[in-house]
Amino acid sequence: MSQFFTEEGSAQAVNARMGADVEPRLKIVMASLVKHLHAFIKDVQLTQEEWEAAIGFLTRTGQICGNERQEFILLSDTLGASMLVDALNHRRPAGATENTVLGPFHVVGAPEREMGASITLDGKGETCAFEGRVVDINGNPVAGARLDVWSDNPDGFYDVQQPGIQPQWNNRGIFTTGDDGHYRFIGIKPVSYPIPDDGPVGKMLAALGRHPYRPAHMHFIVTAPGFEKIVTHTFAGDDAYLNSDAVFGVKETLVAPFERASDGNTVWRSPFDFVLTPVGGSGTAGA
Ligand code: BEZ
Ligand code: FE
């Protein structure tokens, strides 16, 4: 094989430049990246104009990023890469609650609220009681589990998307379970909404004939000492976008009942139990 760059030996020519003391994992990842990148370019016989369009797209993706906007994660989400990385790294035994994407709208430091309290500060939307238990894989209650929850309002926006319009911390809160592992809070029945689609990723979706919508969901981060952190949502099973989530976040086990409440306290009730696995209890990434 020639030491110079040739079409046939292109990936090898690049990978042969790798130094002798490269960190082993970096060596594996970069060599594979180059191999697959070159194979992709050959597979589609990429034209010069397409290469320029790709550079332009990536440049615009970077340029729109800032403190409030992470377009590269949105790109990863819409290409299914975020869900795949999560799936590889969070394999769990059957029955354990599955993860899904975090999304860009989590805010650290939400108010701690009393069990049973409402998270809805703007009084908008159809009230919904979210309740259930946090248990271990054997069904034993987990005390001291923290549930960090957030959702959109009935207009399809998170509070951070509408500062000055929605109160800060609207539809957010943190709840901690007692000895019985039970949780309950009052929110609203969430609604479907489009991911931010006014940038390059939105243009990409449109060019691909894809809509930008996510089915209605309530976000949860559930943590407890000795257990793996769960980053997940529960989805409303009656949502029109359940089978076409723009970021591929829906899993069958995360579709929760949203039923009419019978106690008259709220309009809706959504029961869901969280099943935690011990730290180190999930599978590790493999082939
Ligand atoms: C969200 O559910 O908040 C979300 C997830 C991924 C991309 C955009 C939004
Ligand atoms: Fe969301």
- Residue 247 CB contacts under 8 Å (≥ 6 apart), including other chains: 77, 78, 82, 83, 101, 103, 195, 214
Is 192 near ligand 1, meaning CB less than 6 Å away? no
Is 105 near ligand 1, meaning CB less than 6 Å away? yes
Q: Which residues of 268-282 are buried (b: 16+ CB within 10 A; e: fewer)?
A: bbbebebbbbeeebe
Question: Do the Cβ atoms of 222 and 232 come closer than 8 Å?
Answer: yes
CA 68 to ligand 1 center in whole angstroms: 13
Token pair recorded at residue 35: 């191999």
Atom 1, ligand 1: which residue's CA is nearest?
103
User: Is the domain covering 78-276 a CATH 3.40.109.10 domain?
Assistant: no
> What residue segments make up the domains of the chain, in order of their start?
1-46, 78-276
Pocket test of ligand 1: the residue of 151, 247, 250, 251 to mutate, having most ligand atoms within 8 Å of its CB, is 247
CA 236 to ligand 1 center in whole angstroms: 15
Q: Which of 201, 277, 199, 179 is nearest to 246 (CA)?
A: 201
Pocket test of ligand 1: the residue of 73, 76, 105, 217 to mutate, having most ligand atoms within 8 Å of its CB, is 105
Sign of CA dihedral 243, 231, 86, 161: positive
The three-state secondary structure class of 140 is: coil
Give the angle subtended at the CA of 214 by the CAs of 210 and 218, to the nearest 5°. 170
Is 218 near ligand 1, meaning CB less than 6 Å away? no
Beta pairing class for 268-271 and 259-260: antiparallel
Model pTM score:
0.94
CA 170 to ligand 1 center in whole angstroms: 17
Name the residues around ion ligand 2, CB cutoff 5 A. Answer: 103
Token pair recorded at residue 42: 């050959």
Per-residue pLDDT of the chain (287 residues; tens, 9 = 90+): 567 999 999 999 999 999 999 999 999 999 999 999 999 999 999 999 999 999 999 999 999 999 989 999 999 999 999 999 999 999 999 999 999 999 999 999 999 999 999 999 999 999 999 999 999 999 999 999 999 999 999 999 999 999 999 999 999 999 999 999 999 999 999 999 999 999 999 999 999 999 999 999 999 999 999 999 999 999 999 999 999 999 999 999 999 999 999 998 999 999 999 999 999 865 444 33
CA 252 to ligand 2 center in whole angstroms: 17
Atom 6, ligand 1: which residue's CA is nearest?
103
